[in-house]
Amino acid sequence: MKKTILVTGGAGFIGSNFVYLLLDERKDYKVVCVDALTYAANIHTLNKAMQNPNFKFYKEDIRNREGIFKIFEDEKPDIVVNFAAESHVDRSIENPAIFLETNILGTQVMMDACRKYGVERFHQVGTDEVYGDLPLDRPDLFFHEDTPIHTSSPYSTSKASADLLALAYYRTYGLPVTISRCSNNYGPYQFPEKLIPLMINNATQNKPLPVYGEGLNVRDWLYVKDHCYGILAVLEKGKVGEVYNLGGHNEKANIEIVKIILQELGKPESLITHVADRKGHDRRYAIDPSKANKELGWGPTTMFNEGIKLTIQWYKDNMDWMRECTSGEYMQYYQKMYANR
Ligand code: NAD
Ligand code: TYD
């Protein structure tokens, strides 16, 4: 009999890439996607999945206990992977409340449903931002799984809270929990509020590229499909109660990323505009993925040079998708965040 895997946030960036990976490479799973379709989702992302008999979609909010429990009653998932979250740091600085509600209380609802109906695994998709940041002048330092939680933004604080709650559910109730903490992802279907798709979108329209501060902050980039393979590896080979860091030792300063995008698109560097820095801006993220390498045999397969080309090409080929994301609410958001920056 097919196992049922319930994926929350599957209409968003990483969740949708994970849904497609499952449908393509794990045909023995029935995939149930639960997503509230917030501003960050684009339902057209799932067009192809909707035609697959192994896929079922529910529009539901993970904060809605009754609705979530009903889905568990009907679908009886064996495995739950929780991607659903408010995910953008800048929005969390503007309005923290929804981050606490979805990322903490929503995760609690999902885990309560898992406890009530029984699952073989609840996997929480976490972030390296829970470790805070590292200094720019200490390239020898990395985030390990036992690096203390030391958050900077309301976003990372809400994600850290969810991780701690998941570990508490493991210890207190014996819920079979795993957690992965990944570095910054890039690739198809990322909403253009995040650095890479925002810069691609602006550059293609010859609009200014708003770099925060000097652009020297460093992020550790991982191609989204490699993150999805990492989560699969945790599900298939990971130990319950454990945290796994996922990253590929691919650190780049923001300004480097922006220049690569301009070069790939054949656009001038004069489009770069330095704007006011983000409040509390984390300086450097850098993952030590050696636990996942050793214990799961996982490592990235798409190098940045190749991944960024694939990503830019994907956005060029999917301008309609980008236009759907940037109509409506996005214009107001952009105006509010960047007009007087
Ligand atoms: P995203 O913002 O692109 O997608 C989030 C999805 O969750 C959207 O489809 C949205 O509709 C859905 N959602 C939001 N609130 C919901 C709610 N209350 N109920 C149901 N669905 C809801 O985010 P993403 O970049 O795909 O990130 C997915 C997960 O991975 C998040 O938990 C994030 O913290 C984590 N993560 C992201 C990155 C990254 O670089 N993007 C890195 C590490 C970890
Ligand atoms: P982002 O994609 O928001 O991811 P995160 O903050 O979770 O790492 O931002 C990546 C980096 O790019 C971060 O250092 C902030 C910077 N940034 C800009 O310089 N300009 C922008 O318009 C955005 C969205 C981000």
**Ligand 2, atom 12, residue with closest C-alpha:** 195
Mutation choice for ligand 2 from 87, 92, 159, 194, CB with most ligand atoms inside 8 A? 194
Q: Ligand 1 centroid to 85 CA: how many Å?
A: 4
The phi and psi torsions of 52 (rounded to 5 degrees) equal: -90, 125
Q: Give the active site residues.
A: 128-129, 155
Domain assignment present for residue 313? The answer is: no
Helix (H) or strand (E) holding 252: strand 251-253
Average of per-residue pLDDT across 281-288: 98
Which CATH number belongs to the domain containing residue 69 in this structure?
3.40.50.720
Domain assignment present for residue 61? The answer is: yes
Range of the domain at 171: 3-189+223-249+284-302
**Ligand 2, atom 21, residue with closest C-alpha:** 195
Q: Give the pLDDT confidence score for residue 340 in this predicted structure.
A: 87
Domain assignment present for residue 166? The answer is: yes
pLDDT digits (tens, 9 = 90+) for 128-158: 999 999 999 999 999 999 999 999 999 999 9
Burial of 26 (0-12, 13-18, 19+ CB in 10 A): middle
What residues line ligand 1, using a CB cutoff of 6 Å? 8-9, 11-15, 35-38, 40-41, 61-63, 83-87, 102, 106, 125, 127, 159, 182, 184-185, 191
Q: Give the pLDDT confidence score for residue 1 in this predicted structure.
A: 80
Burial of 258 (0-12, 13-18, 19+ CB in 10 A): buried
Dihedral-angle region of residue 76 (phi above 0 means left; psi in -120 to 50 means alpha; beta otherwise): left
Q: Give the pLDDT confidence score for residue 258 in this predicted structure.
A: 98
Ligand 2 atom nearest the C-alpha of 338 is: 22
Q: Ligand 2 centroid to 61 CA: how many Å?
A: 27
Ligand 1 atom nearest the C-alpha of 155 is: 34
Domain assignment present for residue 333? The answer is: no
Domain assignment present for residue 45? The answer is: yes
The phi and psi torsions of 96 (rounded to 5 degrees) equal: -65, -30
pLDDT digits (tens, 9 = 90+) for 10-43: 999 999 999 999 999 999 999 999 999 999 999 9
Domain assignment present for residue 41? The answer is: yes
Domain assignment present for residue 178? The answer is: yes
How far is residue 341 CA from its own chain's centroid? 26
Domain assignment present for residue 132? The answer is: yes
pLDDT digits (tens, 9 = 90+) for 190-207: 999 999 999 999 999 999
Q: Give the pLDDT confidence score for residue 146 in this predicted structure.
A: 98
Q: Could you tell me what percent of the chain has a pLDDT over 70? A: 100
pTM of the model: 0.98
Burial of 181 (0-12, 13-18, 19+ CB in 10 A): buried
How many domains, the chain?
1
